[in-house]
C-alpha cells in the first residue's frame, strides 16, 4: 500500500491523505500516527504545521513522507520508522536491538525514584537489560548525583544506550557492560532495576504485529511461562544479597497478570518484603523487593 503524495501538495493536505489511508487500513491510532510522522519527517513543530500548513511538501518532503507512510501501512510502528521515541520526556534513539520504550515502563522509574525521593542523594544504580537505556538515563536525569551501569547481552543495544546517555547529558555518570543478569557484578547497588523479557513464549505469536515483528524477540521472550528472567535475577540476588546496599531495592517491571506469580516466586526464594505497584492504567506493573527487611 502506498500514499500518493505530489511535491505540490500542501503539508495539510498530505496529513489529511495520510489520515485517510491509515484509517482505511484500520490502524487504531490513524490520526496521531499520521500527525507524528508528518511533523517528524518534515521536521516541523506543531506551530509550523498550523501557520505554514499551506506550503507545498516539495520533492524531498513528498518522497520521504510517502516512504514513511508506506512503512506504517506495512505494519511498522511509528517509533521504528523514526528510529527514535520519547520516554520520561527525554529523546531516545532506537535500533533493532532495543525495545521501543513504553509509557508503562515510566512506572518503574517512578517506583525507583519514590524509594529515594531526595534529589541530591548519591546512588549507585544498575539497569539489567538496559536496551535503549531509557530507565537508566531517566533515573540519572532525575538524580544528578547518581551513578549507574547499563547492562545488556546485546552489544548493539549497549552502543545505542551509550549514545542516549550522551544525548541526554548523563554520559559522565553512566557506564555500560555486556553481560547477563547479575552474573559477574559487584555491588553494592542502591537500586537494581530491570524491564526484562516477560512475555510467555507461546503468547508472542498472538501479540500485535507492531510488537511481534518489530520489537527484538530477546527483549520479549520470557521463556515458557514468561518468568525465566525473574527466576535468574531473583536467584542471583538470593545467592548474593550483598549486591544490594542496606536500604537497597530491586525494582522490576512485570506483565499486567504477573503480580501474584512474582510474589509467590520471590517469597519461595526467601524474600519477605515484596510489593506490587500499578501503572497509570491501573494494571499491576512493578514489583519492588527489599531483601534488607528479610533479616539480613
Q: Which of the residues 234 through 293 are near ligand GLN (CB under 6 A)?
A: none
Sheet of 244-253, strand order: 174-178, 147-152, 124-128, 189-194, 244-253, 284-289, 274-278
Choice between 104 and 142, CB closer to ligand GLN: 104
- Total residues at interface with ligand GLN (CB under 6 A): 10
Q: Which residues contact 102 (CB under 8 A, 6 or more apart)?
A: none
- Options 41, 62, 193, 199; binder of ligand GLN; rule CB under 6 A: 199
Annotated binding-site ranges for S-adenosyl-L-methionine? 129-133, 152, 181, 195
Q: Which stretch binds ligand GLN (CB under 6 A): 55-63, 70-78, 136-144, 197-205?
A: 197-205
- Options 112, 174, 220, 265; binder of ligand GLN; rule CB under 6 A: 220
The answer to whether 131 touches 207, Cβ cutoff 8 Å, is no
The answer to whether 233 touches 225, Cβ cutoff 8 Å, is no
The answer to whether 138 touches 68, Cβ cutoff 8 Å, is no
Choice between 19 and 220, CB closer to ligand GLN: 220
Query: Rounded to an integer, what distance in angstroms lies between the CA atom of residue 144 and that of residue 140?
Result: 6
Annotated binding-site ranges? 129-133, 152, 181, 195-198
Judge residue 183's burial from the number of C-beta atoms within 10 Å of its C-beta, 0-12 exposed, 13-18 middle, 19 or more buried: exposed
195: contact with ligand GLN by CB under 6 A? yes
**Nearest CA-CA partner of 194 in 224, 149, 154, 146:** 149
198: contact with ligand GLN by CB under 6 A? yes
Choice between 88 and 116, CB closer to ligand GLN: 88
Q: Which of the residues 54 through 113 are near ligand GLN (CB under 6 A)?
A: 99, 102, 104
3-state helix, strand, coil in the chain (%, to 5): 45, 20, 35
Helix (H) or strand (E) holding 184: none
The values of phi and psi at residue 286, to 5°, are -135, 135
Minimum CB distance to ligand GLN, residue 92 (Å)? 15
Helix (H) or strand (E) holding 45: none
197: contact with ligand GLN by CB under 6 A? yes
Minimum CB distance to ligand GLN, residue 205 (Å)? 13
Minimum CB distance to ligand GLN, residue 203 (Å)? 10
Minimum CB distance to ligand GLN, residue 122 (Å)? 29
Choice between 62 and 100, CB closer to ligand GLN: 100
Residues in a beta bridge with 149: 126, 175
Annotated binding-site ranges for substrate? 195-198
Choice between 196 and 291, CB closer to ligand GLN: 196
Residues that bind ligand GLN (CB under 6 A): 99, 102, 104, 195-199, 211, 220
Amino acid at each position: 500500500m502506498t500514499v500518493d503524495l505530489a511535491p505540490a501538495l500542501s503539508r495539510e493536505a498530505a496529513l489529511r491523505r495520510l489520515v485517510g489511508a491509515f484509517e482505511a487500513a484500520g490502524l487504531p491510532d490513524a490520526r496521531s500516527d499520521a500527525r507524528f510522522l508528518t511533523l517528524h519527517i518534515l521536521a516541523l513543530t506543531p506551530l509550523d504545521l498550523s501557520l505554514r500548513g499551506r506550503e507545498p511538501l516539495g520533492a524531498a518532503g513528498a518522497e520521504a513522507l510517502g516512504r514513511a507512510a508506506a512503512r506504517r501501512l506495512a505494519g511498522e510502528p511509528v517509533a521504528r520508522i523514526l528510529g527514535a521515541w520519547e520516554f520520561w520526556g527525554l529523546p531516545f534513539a532506537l535500533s533493532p536491538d532495543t525495545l521501543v520504550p513504553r509509557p508503562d515502563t515510566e512506572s518503574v522509574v517512578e517506583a525507583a525514584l519514590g524509594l529515594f525521593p531526595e534529589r541530591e542523594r548519591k546512588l549507585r544504580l544498575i539497569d539489567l537489560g538496559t536496551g535503549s537505556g531509557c530507565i537508566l538515563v531517566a533515573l540519572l536525569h532525575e538524580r544528578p548525583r547518581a551513578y549507574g551501569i547499563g547492562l545488556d547481552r546485546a552489544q548493539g543495544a549497549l552502543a545505542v544506550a551509550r549514545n542516549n546517555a550522551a544525548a541526554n547529558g548523563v554520559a559522565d555518570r553512566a557506564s555500560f557492560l555486556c553481560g547477563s543478569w547479575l552474573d559477574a557484578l559487584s555491588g553494592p547497588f542502591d537500586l537494581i532495576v530491570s524491564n526484562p523479557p516477560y512475555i510467555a513464549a507461546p503468547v508472542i505469536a498472538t501479540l500485535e504485529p507492531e510488537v511481534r515483528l518489530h520489537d527484538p524477540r530477546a527483549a520479549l521472550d520470557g521463556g515458557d511461562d514468561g518468568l525465566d528472567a525473574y527466576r535468574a535475577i531473583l536467584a542471583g540476588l538470593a545467592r548474593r544479597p550483598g549486591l544490594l546496599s542496606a536500604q537497597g531495592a530491586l525494582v522490576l517491571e512485570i506483565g499486567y497478570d504477573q503480580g501474584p506469580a512474582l510474589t509467590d516466586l520471590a517469597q519461595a526464594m526467601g524474600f519477605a518484603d515484596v510489593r506490587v505497584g500499578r501503572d497509570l492504567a491501573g494494571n499491576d506493573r512493578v514489583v519492588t523487593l527489599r531483601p534488607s527487611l528479610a533479616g539480613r
